[in-house]
């Protein structure tokens, strides 16, 4: 019988991933539509965004990059820990089943 926690964990992960993907795509699409306008001020903003994107320096965001890398490492470690806990659960279930099968049957002749 499947574990209720595993079902909840995987279904929640699927829902959150789909939701985040949809929200990100909608946001990018709205920014594209807004910056694709032909108004004089919109074209000025579009050029401003492009120039600042090209002037972007990696040093200014070094701290944020380190935080993102550390959070990614923590996410991978937690993911691996979940895998280890699942392996431990399977091993304990097998051990319990083996103990149950190896006990002598009392009262049966």
Q: Does an H or E element contain 103, and which?
A: none
Both 51 and 69 in one domain: the answer is no
Both 47 and 63 in one domain: the answer is no
Dump pLDDT digits (tens) for 39-71. 888 888 888 988 888 887 767 778 888 999 999
Both 52 and 72 in one domain: the answer is no
- The C-alpha atoms of residue 52 and residue 61 are separated, in whole angstroms, by 14
Both 38 and 71 in one domain: the answer is no
Residue 4 has pLDDT above 90, yes or no: no
pLDDT value of position 28: 93
Exposure string over 25-44, b if 16+ CB within 10 A, otherwise e: eeeeeeeeeeeeeeeeeeee
Q: What is the mean pLDDT of residues 2-25?
A: 89
* Count of structural domains within the chain: 2
């Amino acid at each position: 019988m499947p574990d209720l926690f595993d079902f909840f964990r995987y279904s929640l992960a699927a829902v959150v991933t789909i939701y985040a993907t949809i929200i990100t795509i909608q946001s990018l699409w709205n920014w594209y539509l807004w910056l694709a306008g032909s108004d004089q001020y919109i074209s000025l903003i579009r050029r401003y965004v492009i120039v600042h994107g090209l002037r972007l320096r990696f040093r200014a965001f070094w701290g944020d990059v380190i935080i993102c890398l550390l959070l990614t490492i923590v996410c991978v470690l937690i993911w691996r820990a979940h895998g280890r806990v699942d392996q431990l659960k399977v091993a304990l279930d097998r051990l319990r089943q083996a103990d149950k099968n190896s006990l002598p049957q009392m009262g049966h002749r």
